[in-house]
Amino acid sequence: MKPLHERLLHVPQVGRVTWLGVRPEHGAAMLAQQDVELLAGRGIYGDIAARSKAGHGRQVTLLQEEHLAVLAGLTGALEVRPEQLRRNVVVAGINLLALAKLRFAIGETVLEGSGHCAPCQKMDDTLGAGGFQATRGHGGITARVLRGGTIRIGDPVQVVDHG
């Protein structure tokens, strides 16, 4: 049997990108995209986070697609859409929490998970009363861009090394 630290590093699943979006300004609506350009050390071209201080840990935000149905159930909504949660990249088929401290590839890019993406007060506004509490534990992860390039809907998401 492998020790726990080795099992935490082994992520055999390969996910895929199902949605992409950018926030051109603070508070602005998310703009859905078919592809986005990641800038090493900055974030997504055209997203407000890419204009922040270089090297910060919240350059790209990622959300687990499978959690959208959970959030709908927790809030009583018929559906929860990716743009409501204000994350840049939605992925399916791989556990994002497993990537929170690992290096992973999305298409031709390489990112490094920098932590959990906590919900903000806007969740009560967009998801209704209790939206903030429902999103706790389902807010996805944040990441830094180590190698830039283009990512597209349908691109694979997989661990590349253990940093």
Find out whether 44 and 149 touch, Cβ atoms under 8 Å. Answer: no
Q: What is the pLDDT of residues 97-135, one digit of tens each?
A: 999 999 999 999 999 999 888 888 888 888 888 888 888
Domains of the chain with bracketed CATH: 36-157 (2.40.33.20)
The pLDDT of residue 83 is 92
Q: What is the pLDDT of residues 54-86, one digit of tens each?
A: 667 789 999 999 999 999 999 988 899 999 999
- pLDDT above 70 covers a percentage of the chain that reads 96
pTM: 0.91
Helices H, strands E: what count in the chain?
5, 11
Q: Is the pLDDT of residue 91 over 80?
A: yes
Residue 36: count of CB within 10 angstroms of its CB: 24
* Order of strands, sheet of 149-152, starting from the edge strand that comes earlier in the sequence: 43-44, 35-39, 149-152
Most confident of 22-26, 62-66, 159-163: 62-66
Residue 148 amino acid letter: G
**Is the model more confident about 91 or about 57?**
91
